[in-house]
Chain A
Amino acid sequence: MHTDESVNAYLTGNLLAGETYKYDPQDKHGPVLFLLAKPIAQLGGAKNFSDLTETQLRLTPVLVGSAMILLFGCAVEIFGFIACLTAALLFAIAPLPVYYSRYFIHETLFVAATFGLILSGWQTLKNNSLWFAALTGLCAALLLACKETAAIHFFALACGAFAAWFTTARKYFPAPKIIATSLMVFIATTILLFTWFGQNFGALADLFHAIPRVVARAGGEGHAKPFFYYFELLDPLFILSFLAAAGIYTAICDTVSGARKAALPLMIYAVAVALIYSAIPYKTPWLTLNLWLPFTLLCGLGVSAIVSAFNNKAGRWGAGIVGIFLLATLGAQTQELVFQKPADEKNLLAYAHTTPDILNLPAKLEEICRARKIVQPRIAVVMKDAWPLPWYLRKFSRVGFWPPGLETGDADFFITTTDAPTNLTARLENFRPEFFGVRPNVLLILWTPRPADKLP
């Protein structure tokens, strides 16, 4: 489990144990993930944090990621069958979406909400329907209740919508009651979700307090990356970019001819999102998913144009074979990056991922406890930042976490970083250190009492 996943797991565990969700503007994001994860984990039989398993937790993004693929079926009317089929296949097969669709973080849900917002928003504008207007408001609220960075997408989508309105002789403008319905549903849903159905109205003020935090984070905070970081993750083989370029060309042609009205706003949205995310120094690989949605749809438009260009059977067969080869290549990449080497330090998707070695820590503790007949071991964790240890030690009932420098009381085992505080020196005199990997270049030490025959 990645550190972020373990924090989300802990919050889910609190909800299972009967606690109320309380929005924390300090990087914990919104409530949607926990809203979905709680019943799914309950169905799996979990009653508290220590009951939880990786499978129970990761089932939430897996289900949402799978639903996201089906959602492309609703987009056929807007972007065309081949474009949607291509995008759906890329979501189902490529390493990036598959990898993060089983990460217990907010990103997959966020992208699904974005897609829902695009689809419902388009139908609202097209049909002037109150139902779609309400759905648009709901999707927008879900987006915000996934992550505060929804603001970026609201802006980028507004740019796309403005372009669509501007290029269609400014005919389509939603009626006031449509706008009012969307806004009311958005506000009501946002309040319901962030206050956890009216239990914590302070969360609304906290939502505004998150703004300076998000702005500070955007500065980098140790995660600053170059401008083109996302492009390397989007298309490491530099094949899909050609399809996306063809998609952009198609979008421009469609706008000029008036053939497919959704192409231009899609392109504007894609460019806006790509530029904004790339310009922000703070970057993590899972944020690439935000670019992946418009990128795959542009690829789809490109494929659609290529298929149309081949008006003979042989040409279409050729394009089909190339397409299958491309998907097979992506599938092979997915097999390696997602299933064979998910935590490998050379895997670009495994960002600051927890080293598999950490799994040896609870196993080692259990082994020693069995050998020395310790029934309920007292474990003192002395670290400034102990995540993801609460997850890996969740089966032990007597675990305490202390910041360095504080007295811990007696313990059977101590767990420290490699710069263990000096106040522990005397207490660890007869303990043996054993190292465990937490993340690349991050180690911890398990201090175990030495057997009498191993004392110096």
Chain B
Amino acid sequence: MKNLILLAATLLTATAFAEDMIPLKTDLPNPLMVGTPVPISIPKLEAKIKKFPDFQVPAGTVNLAKGKKVSSSDNDPVIGSLDLITDGDKEGDEGSWVELGSGKQWVQIDLANAATISAIVVWHYHSQERVYRDVVVQISDDPKFEKDVTTIYDNSSAGKDLPYIESYLGKLIDAKGAKGRYVRLSSAGNTTNKLNHYIEVEVFGKPAA
């Protein structure tokens, strides 16, 4: 009886401290690719998703990246400008995306303050079926990403994540509550050309307490 009371008390305390969780919602752009989607027969393969994944985030979570300053390894983009990455426009047409140079390039979003990040959603390009190579997403308080770097996604040969096919649904990445002020995303070309593209990056989180 005594143990039962102790368990109930523990559960009540945990519930009181736990945050309310709500589904992550984001506005999706219009799909641009025509044709019948091809089903993926291999369960392991994280290639194409049919709907935006169900994902729970703490209540009060917002897109901290909206309108924030973006810097890049390529400060002179081939097409577009870096501010397109956080302008809220996720459409796949020309004018909505920025094209960075060939090879490995990164973009970095300054959230202005340290934050607890639940999820990141990225749209590289979705008017054509393509895969971006060596996608890595990191969070840090160091703007140079030289120390205290948390890697939340890595599908390069060094990482364990799997490559995926771009779509209008974007790519949802679980940040697992990583803390930091800066978010850096890198890639190294794609299956159509050696260039790197970003339509939009959303960083869902709450300012760090």
Chain A residues proximal to chain B, CB less than 8 Å:
345, 355-357, 417-422, 424-425, 428-429, 432-437, 440-443, 445, 454, 456
Contacts and interface: CB of A to CB of B under 8 A. Distances in A.
Contacts of B193: 355-357
B48 interface: yes
Contacts of A345: 128, 192
B15 interface: no
Interface pairs A-B: 9 shortest CB-CB = A437-B191, A435-B131, A419-B38, A422-B41, A441-B129, A357-B191, A437-B192, A435-B191, A420-B42
Given A418-B165, A437-B130, A355 B191 contact: yes
Nearest to A358: B191
Contacts of B130: 437, 443
Contact of B192 (A421, A425, A432, A440): A440
Contacts of B33: 441
15 contacts: A345-B128, A345-B192, A357-B190, A357-B191, A422-B41, A424-B42, A425-B44, A432-B162, A435-B131, A435-B163, A435-B165, A437-B131, A440-B128, A441-B35, A443-B131
B160 interface: yes
Nearest to A453: B160
B143 to A, nearest CB: 31
B161 to A, nearest CB: 11
A456 B48 CA distance: 20
Most chain B CB neighbours (cut-off 10 Å) among A419, A442, A456: A419
B40 A418 contact: yes
B158 to A, nearest CB: 9
A307 B43 CA distance: 70
Interface of B: 33, 35, 38-45, 47-48, 128-131, 160, 162-163, 165, 190-193
Contacts of B129: 441-443
A416 to B, nearest CB: 8
A456 B160 contact: yes
Contact of A425 (B43, B128, B163): B43
Contacts of A418: 38, 40, 47-48, 165
A387 B45 CA distance: 24
A432 B159 CA distance: 11
A422 B42 CA distance: 6
A440 B125 CA distance: 13
B192 A429 contact: no
A354 to B, nearest CB: 11
B48 A355 contact: no
Contacts of B131: 435, 437, 443
B9 to A, nearest CB: 39
A176 B42 CA distance: 70
A456 B160 CA distance: 8
Given A418-B40, A418-B48, A443-B130, A433 B163 contact: yes
A330 to B, nearest CB: 26
Nearest to B33: A441
Nearest to B192: A437
A443 B45 contact: no
Contacts of A437: 130-131, 190-192
Contact of B42 (A355, A425, A432): A425
Given A441-B129, A443-B130, A428 B192 contact: no
Contacts of B40: 418-420
Contact of A419 (B35, B41, B43, B128): B41
A311 B120 CA distance: 73
Given A435-B191, A440-B128, A441-B33, 11 more contacts: A357-B190, A418-B38, A418-B47, A419-B40, A420-B42, A422-B41, A425-B41, A425-B42, A425-B43, A437-B131, A441-B129
A224 to B, nearest CB: 15
B99 to A, nearest CB: 13
A216 B143 CA distance: 62
B128 A441 contact: yes
A195 to B, nearest CB: 43
Contact of B44 (A419, A421, A428, A434): A428
A357 B192 contact: yes
Contacts of B191: 355, 357, 435-437, 443
B39 A419 contact: yes
A377 B162 CA distance: 24
A429 to B, nearest CB: 7
Nearest to A444: B191
